[in-house]
Amino acid sequence: MPPLIAWGVGVLGGAALVRWAIREARRINRELDDARARMAEARMAETVRTERIPTLRRDPVTGAYRPE
């Protein structure tokens, strides 16, 4: 194979490999960003859910626990 053709094939193969690697990195980062957003939403929902839980205090007369 003449050196110029071998060099050209190597450059095209390298360019294809770089393009594939960049696309994969972007896809993975997109998935990670989506997962982080879902985790942030879950944390917010958990915070809202725990804020609605009333604190229970013991009634000194009956001994039963009642919400404040």
E strand or H helix at 67: strand 65-67
22-to-10, 19, 27, 46 alpha-carbon distances in Å: 18, 5, 9, 36
Domain-wise residue ranges, the chain = 10-50
- pLDDT recorded at residue 1: 64
Whole-prediction pTM:
0.57
pLDDT > 70? residue 63? yes
Average pLDDT over residues 15-26: 98
Q: What is the pLDDT of residues 27-57, one digit of tens each?
A: 999 999 999 999 998 888 877 776 777 888 8
Share of the chain above pLDDT 90, in %: 54
- pLDDT recorded at residue 14: 96
